[in-house]
A and B are shown apart, each in its own frame.
Chain A
C-alpha cells in the first residue's frame, strides 16, 4: 500500500535511539499501539512502512519494511493508529503488486473502504467444512497417490535446481475439479524469487489466460528481505477475500517459503532473541501456522482457498527446521528428489515420504474411482519393496536377490519411468492414471496384491479385464 508521511494525521516523531538492521528503537513516543503500522522517512526522502513489534511507556521497537539501506537515526516517524491493513475490492483481479501491496503494473492503487488486516483471523474450526473435492492435476504421481483436494494446504518440498516451478505451473495450468467448469483463480506470492523465475510464472498465467483471474504479488530477490514477512500475509488476505467474499475457488501459490523463514530469522537475531534450532526463532511454528492455516472451506460460502507453498530444503535436508515445521502444519507434502531428476524423471516426485493427508476424503467411489484407495496403497507397498530391493542389489548385486525381490525391483523401475515420469504438457485423467497403475501392478503375481480387495482385482486387473473383453 502506498503511504506517505503526509497522508497520516498526527504527530511526527523525530530521531531514533538506535537502528539495528531493520529494527528501529524510538523513544519519547506515547499512545503507540502494539502491532501498529508506522511510516518512516529517512533523510533519503523515501517513505517506508513499518510495524511496532514491541512497545512500552515512552518507547517502541519498529520493524521497518522496504529496505534498511539509507536508514539513519535522523528520521521522521508517524504512527498510523492501526494495524497493517490493505484495501480490497474486485479490482484486485488481474493486478500485480510488490511485497508491500504497491501496484507495479502501472495502474493506480486499489481504492476501497473495505480494509483488511493482513494478519487475518483464525477460522473457527466449527465453521470449517472438511475438504473433499478431488482436484485433478493431470499428474499421475499426485492424482494417484497424493491427491490434492480443494481447500487443502499441500506444499512442495524442493531443492535448488529442481523443477518445482515447472511443476507448480503445470498444476496451475491443468488443475480442474471433475464435473465443474469453473477454473481456479490464482494468487501468486513470490518471496525472494529471481526475476526470471517470476517472469516465467507471469508468462505462464498469461498464456493460459489465468492472468485475468490472478493476483500477483512479487517480492523479488533484490527487493527488501524483511518485506517477505508481509508478502504472504498480503497475498492470503487477498486470497481470503476472493475465496470467501467473491466466492471464487482460489489456488494460492507461495514461493519460496524458505526465503520467508530466513527473513524471520533475521528479525529474531536483530532482536537478540534466544535462537532455536538452526538459529530460527522458537515461535517459527506458530508464525508459519498463521500463514498455512489460512486455507480451507467455510460453511455457507461458495469459494475455497487451496494453498500450495513451495520451499527449498536447505542442504536437501528434510529435517531442517523449515520443511520440518512446515510438514507439521500443512496437510501433507510433495517431496522432490534430486536422484530421480538426475535419472531424467519429471516430475521427480519421491512418493514414499510424500503424503496428502486429505486424500482419502477426496477419492473413492463417486469421487474418483472405487479402486483408487486400494490401488494407491498397493503402489506404495510395492514401490517401497522395490526401492528396498534396489538398495539391497547395490550391496549383494542383482543376482543375490530372490526372485521375488527382483520382481519388485523391476516394478520400481517401471513405476518411476512410466507412472511418475510424464510430460510437462501431458494431462492424464484420473482413469488413465489408475489404469496405468494396474498395468504396472500386473507385473506382480496376483497373490502379492493383498492391499487391494478381491472385488477390485476382479474388476480392474488387466488379466480379468482382458478375459471379460474376449
Chain B
C-alpha cells in the first residue's frame, strides 16, 4: 500500500473534533496529523465513509478539504531513561523543549518525549547468549542519583541476545541485538513504546494482596485512613478545600520509589510551584532532591481539552513502566473530574446520547479502567520482582456536592475516601479531611504492618516501638470513637449550650479538641510538621489518649473540668507537633502532663490505680 492512500481530507470542524474522509483502513485509536501544521490527533470514531478525530492542539484555521495524514501508529508513550526529573504536556512533549518556541505554547510543535541526543551509561546485567523474554532486565542506567533505571525487554519480544554492549548510548542506539526464534534480528534500545490506553501486562494471576501501607507522613491519612501500596484513593472536595495541597504533600513525602504527578486541567501556577519547589526539597529518606524520583505531566486548564483526556493515560502508562522495573510507584491525578469533563465535552461533540449530567454512558467504565491500573503485581520477566502502582485521584464535584456521577463512580472503584469538608477549610483546619465521613477499606490489612513497616528515624526507639506497635490499632479506634462521640455531644451542645453539659462530656469535647488541633491538624507548610514520622504520629496519639484516660478518672472522682482545662499542658499538647525536637519533646510532654494530672489527683485526694 502506498502512503498516498492513507491521506484523507477534512469534512467538518467543530472545536477540537474534526470529521474526515478518505482513509479506508483507518482504525480507532490511530494517530493522525491534521492540516499543514500537522496537528496531532487521534481517531475516536470510524464509520463506513468517514472518521472522527480529536485534535490535541487548537484547531483554529483548519479548513474543510485540508489534508489528514494517517500515521499507522497508536497514541503511545515513549518509555526510557529521561522521564524522571522532567515535565511533559498532556501528549508527552517535554515542556522545556517547547520553551524553545517562546514562553507561550503555540501549535504544531513536534518534540520527542525522550531526548534523542542525551547519552546514558548502560551497564549490562546479562551476558551475550542469554535467552531473554518480555520484562527481563538486561541492564541498568543510573537515571538519577536516586533511581536506577532498569532496561527491560519490551512486552511481546523473546529470543537470544547475540550481542550486548556496555557504554554510553543515546536512547535510539541499540545496546543489544536479539535473535528471535524465527531468526529475525532485532536491535534492543534503551526505550520502548507502549500504547497508552492499554494496560501494560504483568504475570498471569500476578495481582497480589495489598498489605503494605503507603506511608505519607500525613497523620490523618497514615493513622486513620491509610492507603495501601498498589491501592487507589479518591479525594473529592469543592474548590479551596485542600485537594491540590494534599496531592502535593503525597508527592513530596510518600515512601514510594517513583512519583508520577498529573496536573490535569488545573492551574499553571500550581505546576510552576512544583517545578520550583521539588528540585529544592529533599526526600526525607535519601536526602536527595525530590525531583529525582518525580515525573510531572502538565495539561493546564487552558490547554486543549483533548490533550487533557490523554494526559491521564500517558501518566499511568509511565507509572506502569516503572512498576515493571520493580518499583513502588505512586500516581497523583489532579483532577480526574477535568478528565471526565473532557470525555463529556468530546462525547457531546460526537452527539452521543448523554445519560447523567451530560456524561456518556461509558463514564463508569472509563473510571473503572483507570483505577484498575493500580495494583501490586508480580511483573513480567527475570529477575522475579514485585512492583506497584498506587493511584490517588482528586475529584472536583460541582458545587462541592458529592452526589454527582464522577464522585459516585470513583468511590465505587477506589478503596479510600478522603472526604474534604468546607467547614473545616473555612476555619483553616487543614488537612480538611472529615474524620467521620472518610474511610479506608485497607485498614484491617494494613494496621498490623503499619507500625512495624518502618522506623528509620528512631533507632534508639526501636525497643519501645516494638512494645507500642501492637497497641497502635487500639489507639486508633479509641481516637476515632472519641471523635465520633464528641460530634454527638457537640450537636447536643448546639441546642443546650456547652455550659449545660456534664463534666465527663465536656472532657470528651476537650479531648476531641486536643485530637483536632494537636493531632489531626497538620500544616503542610510547616518546616517541622509537614512530614510527620510514624513514631511521631503514634506518640502524639498516645500522649493525648493517655491524658484522656487519667483525666476521665479524675472527672469521675469529682474533679471539675475547669481544673483540667486550665492546665498549661493543654495548649502545649496542641503545639508540640511543631516542636523541632519532635519525638523527644512529645515523650517529655507526655510525662509532664501525666505528672500534672497526678498532682491534681493528689490535690483532690483521688486514688488512681496505676
Interface residues of A (CB under 8 A from B): 30-36, 53-58, 82-83, 117, 119-131, 151, 244, 273-277, 282-283, 285-286, 289-290, 293-294, 296, 298-301, 319-321, 324-325, 327-329, 331-333, 352-353, 355, 357-358, 360-361, 373, 377, 380-381, 384-385, 392, 395-396, 400-403, 405, 447-448, 450, 453-454
Contact = CB atoms under 8 A, between A and B. Distances in A.
Nearest to B95: A126
B301 A285 contact: yes
With most chain A CB atoms within 10 A of its CB, the pick from B269, B396, B525 is B269
Contact of A125 (B11, B59, B87): B87
Interface in B277-310: 298, 300-303, 305
A55 B64 contact: yes
Interface stretch (B165-173, B192-200, B202-210, B494-502): B494-502
A396 B497 contact: yes
Interface string B315-351: 0000000000000000000000010010011001000
Given A54-B14, A83-B61, A126-B99, A331 B341 contact: no
The number of chain B residues touching the other chain, given as a range, is 35 or more
Nearest to B239: A327
Contact of A277 (B302, B338, B398, B495): B398
Contacts of A321: 398-399
7 contacts: A32-B64, A126-B275, A151-B269, A286-B265, A353-B426, A450-B517, A450-B571
A377 B428 contact: yes
A126 B269 CA distance: 9
B132 to A, nearest CB: 38
Contact of B61 (A33, A131, A401): A33
Contacts of A332: 240
Contacts of B103: 123-124, 127, 244, 298-301
Contact of B348 (A273, A361, A385, A405): A273
A447 B568 contact: yes
B286 to A, nearest CB: 25
B268 A54 contact: no
A163 B517 CA distance: 37
A353 B298 CA distance: 28
Interface in B418-472: 422, 426-429
With most chain B CB atoms within 10 A of its CB, the pick from A119, A286, A396, A453 is A286
B494 A33 contact: no
Given A125-B298, A328-B396, A55 B13 contact: yes
B341 A319 contact: no
Contacts of B96: 126
Contacts of B496: 396, 400
Interface in B540-583: 568, 570-571, 574-575, 578
A67 to B, nearest CB: 24
A34 B345 contact: no
Contacts of A151: 269
Given A324-B238, A327-B240, A328-B239, 17 more contacts: A33-B60, A57-B64, A121-B106, A122-B300, A125-B272, A125-B275, A126-B87, A130-B272, A151-B269, A273-B348, A290-B302, A301-B103, A319-B399, A380-B428, A381-B429, A396-B495, A448-B571
B99 to A, nearest CB: 6
Nearest to B97: A126
Contacts, number: 224
A33 B63 contact: yes
B273 interface: yes
A447 B12 contact: no
Nearest to A318: B399
Interface string B491-526: 001111111100000000000000001000000010
Interface string B479-501: 00000000000000111111110
Interface of B: 11-15, 19, 58-65, 87, 95-96, 98-99, 102-106, 238-240, 263, 265, 267-269, 271-273, 275-276, 298, 300-303, 305, 338, 341, 344-345, 348, 354, 357-358, 396, 398-401, 422, 426-429, 493-500, 517, 525, 568, 570-571, 574-575, 578
Contacts of A277: 357, 398-399
Main secondary structure on chain B at its contact with chain A? mixed
Contact of B268 (A125, A327, A358): A125
Given A131-B269, A405-B498, A329 B301 contact: yes
B341 A282 contact: yes
Given A131-B269, A286-B345, A124 B240 contact: no
B341 A285 contact: yes
Contact of A324 (B60, B341, B398, B500): B398
Contacts of A385: 427
Nearest to A125: B271
B55 to A, nearest CB: 10
Contact of B358 (A123, A276, A290): A276
B95 A125 contact: yes
A199 to B, nearest CB: 33
B61 A34 contact: yes
A125 B499 contact: no
A402 B499 contact: yes
A82 B63 CA distance: 11
A243 B422 CA distance: 35
Contact of A282 (B276, B348, B497): B348
A33 B91 CA distance: 25
Contacts of A289: 265, 300-302
Contacts of A373: 525
A324 B239 contact: yes
